[in-house]
A = this chain, B = another copy of it.
Amino acid sequence: MIPPRCSALLTDLYQFTMLQGYLEQDMEAVAAYEFFVRRLPRDRSYLVAAGLESVLQYLETVRFTAEEVDWLAGTGRFNRRFLDYVAGFRFAGEVAAMPEGTVFFPDEPILRVVAPIPQAQLVETRIINLLHYQTLVASKAARTVLAAEGRLLVDFGLRRAHGAEAGLLAARASYLAGFGGSSNVLAEHEYGIPGYGTMAHSFVQAHEDEALAFEHFAHAQPDNVVLLIDTYDTEAAAEKVAALAPRLMAQGIRVKAVRLDSGDLGEHARRVRRIFDAAGLEGIGIFASGNLDEYQVAELVAQKAPIGGFGVGTRMLTSSDAPYLDCAYKLMEYAGRARRKRSEGKATWPGRKQVYRFHDGAGRLLRDVLTVEGDVKEGGQPLLSPVMRAGRRLQAPLPLDEARRHCAAELARLPPSLRALEGNGTYEVEVAPALHELALAVDEGRV
């Protein structure tokens, strides 16, 4: 299973019941849908767009197999026209989007799909599923990257990610946001993300003697000796490493680092640092893990704990302080006419939209303007651009490292007011007069 290659049946049943409805009424006019986030979760001041690449891959390849069409027929819910439609289904529409790694704010569309309504509707569920999670993780990872102030960050979260695909997509989203790599081997295989890995407590426990476990591990992985020292007593284990390291060095094996995984990480790091320094082993680094997220990383950095890198897992992959985004994929236009939904607390801005971004003299984010497509805002940078036409990409996939550089540049442009880990920093997203006017026109039935 490599995302997004999964069955086209991975969708909500209502996509099929609506499709049958559209087909019966010969409603096949062009629709425009946009994906956006309604509001920021607590303690988020910006979001980082991610998931576009997997959405494009999905749109290029989504098909119903003969077995799936037969199964749908067998449910008795669908008529022949519906079954013929899905059997021949190909996505042949247009997509415009913000590049992955772009910083964005509520109400700003990061992706627009334009296609005959049966097509544009049918792909809703998986598009949300892909964009929501990757954006959620990239946004949390970006906060961690800023908190780490240049220290190495490694994704350790696969085991407690919500399923296989979450583990894989999160490895990519966190790397996009500036992590140095991942423990997830499949992420290296699929995306070329640098692999990191050391040892588990069980490796130590399976040996009669902790020092012997370290020695065996060093011989098995001579180029990557990172030893886990908290299985029994952290400082006692550090002493064992201090005794072992010169012996290994004589055999040409260098102990690169130790890993701490429990207790007061800052305090242990200081004690272990003193033990190594006293033994003349200034070169052995200290790596920390254990339920870390941006808040703990920031605290350890503020303490000046002698930690060179962090393994960040569960809390990032589940985005535990904000496990979901209030996001939607909504119909904005049908048959040439703008539309909006007016449900309580969930009203949308109608029509096809564009976001223009303005920067200050230092190149920092100043304000955004949300407006209707075509209402050009001079001096502003349009954030959405066409990426797919007639179901085909307009460019080759952006290499992940390029998207990662784009994200780093975006984060460097964040003003100090948005960098705080707590609270919701304010950033102006102006709704242009043209968009206000369109909303009014829709409400009054003038369009």
- A125 on the B face (CB < 8 A): yes
Are B121's CB and A159's CB within 8 A?
no
Of B33, B161, B188, B334, the residue contacting A162 (CB under 8 A) is B161
- Chain B residue at minimal CB-CB distance from A1: B1
Minimum CB–CB distance for A253 against chain B, Å:
13
**Quick one: which of A5, A68, A167, A319 has the most chain B CB within 10 A?**
A167
Segment at the B interface, from A201-209, A243-251, A363-371? A201-209
Chain A, interface residues (CB within 8 Å), range:
35 or more
The oligomer's copy count stands at: 2
**A11-B185, A189-B68, A206-B31 are known contacts. Are A262 and B163 too (CB-CB below 8 A)?**
no
Q: A262-B343, A343-B201 are in contact. Are A160 and B129 (CB under 8 A)?
A: yes
For residue A144, CB closer than 8 A to chain B, the reply is: no
- The reply to whether the CB of A200 lies closer than 8 angstroms to some CB of chain B is yes
- Starting from the known contacts A13-B183, A75-B188, A129-B163, 8 additional A-B residue pairs (CB-CB under 8 Å) come to A6-B164, A10-B184, A11-B158, A12-B159, A27-B206, A77-B224, A129-B158, A164-B165
Q: Are B162 and A163 in contact (CB under 8 A)?
A: yes
B1 and A6 form a contact (CB under 8 A): yes
Least CB distance from A289 to B in Å reads 11
A232 B186 Cβ-Cβ under 8 A: no
Is the CB–CB distance between A128 and B262 below 8 Å? Answer: no
**Which residues does A use to contact B, with CB under 8 Å?**
1-7, 9-18, 20-22, 24-25, 27, 31, 33, 68, 71, 75, 77, 117, 121, 124-126, 128-129, 132-133, 136, 156, 158-169, 183-186, 188-189, 195-203, 205-206, 216-217, 219-221, 223-224, 230-233, 261-263, 314-315, 317-320, 323-325, 327, 330-331, 334-335, 339-346
Q: Which residues of B contact A164 (CB under 8 A)?
A: 3-4, 6, 10, 126, 129, 163, 165
- Answer whether A263 and B186 are a contact pair too, CB < 8 Å, given A7-B1, A17-B199, A158-B129: no
User: When the two chains form the complex, which single residue of B75, B232, B339 contacts A206, counting CB atoms closer than 8 Å?
Assistant: B339
Closest-CB distance, A113 to chain B (whole angstroms)? 12
Q: Contact partner of A12 among B2, B165, B183, B344, CB < 8 A?
A: B183
> Which of B186, B199, B202, B233 sits near A330, CB closer than 8 Å?
B202
Residues of B near A325 (CB, < 8 A) are: 160
Contact B186 A9 (CB under 8 A): yes
Residues of B within 8 A of A10 (CB): 158, 164, 167-168, 184-186
A327–B136 alpha-carbon span in the complex (Å): 23
Determine the chain B residues whose CB is within 8 A of the CB of A71 once the complex forms.
189
12 A–B contact pairs at CB < 8 A? A1-B6, A4-B164, A10-B184, A12-B183, A20-B220, A22-B206, A121-B202, A129-B167, A165-B165, A165-B166, A206-B331, A232-B342
By a CB distance below 8 angstroms, the chain B residues around A314 are: 324
Contact: A125 with B158, CB < 8 Å? yes
B331 contacts A17, CB within 8 Å? Answer: no
- Name the residue on B nearest A445 (C-beta): B208
Residue with the highest number of chain B CB atoms closer than 10 Å, among A68, A262, A323: A323
If A158-B12, A166-B165 touch, whether A230 touches B343 (CB-CB below 8 Å) is yes
Closest to A231 in B: B341
Chain B residues with Cβ under 8 A from A169's Cβ?
A: 163
Contact flag A14-B197 (CB < 8 Å), given A20-B220, A324-B314, A342-B231: yes
Q: A32 to B18, alpha carbons, bound, how many Å? A: 52
Which B residues touch A161, using CB under 8 A?
Answer: 129, 133, 162-163
- CB atoms of B165 and A14 under 8 A apart: no
Q: Contact: A121 with B200, CB < 8 Å? A: yes
Contact A221 B343 (CB under 8 A): no
Complex contact A129–B231 (CB within 8 A)? no
Name which residue of chain B comes closest to A317, CB basis: B162
Given A205-B341, A314-B324, residue A24 in contact with residue B220 (CB < 8 A): yes
> Given contacts A197-B14, A324-B160, A344-B230, are A334 and B68 in contact (CB under 8 A)?
no
Beta-carbon contact of A344 and B1 below 8 Å: no
* Distance A21 CA – B343 CA, assembled complex (angstroms): 60
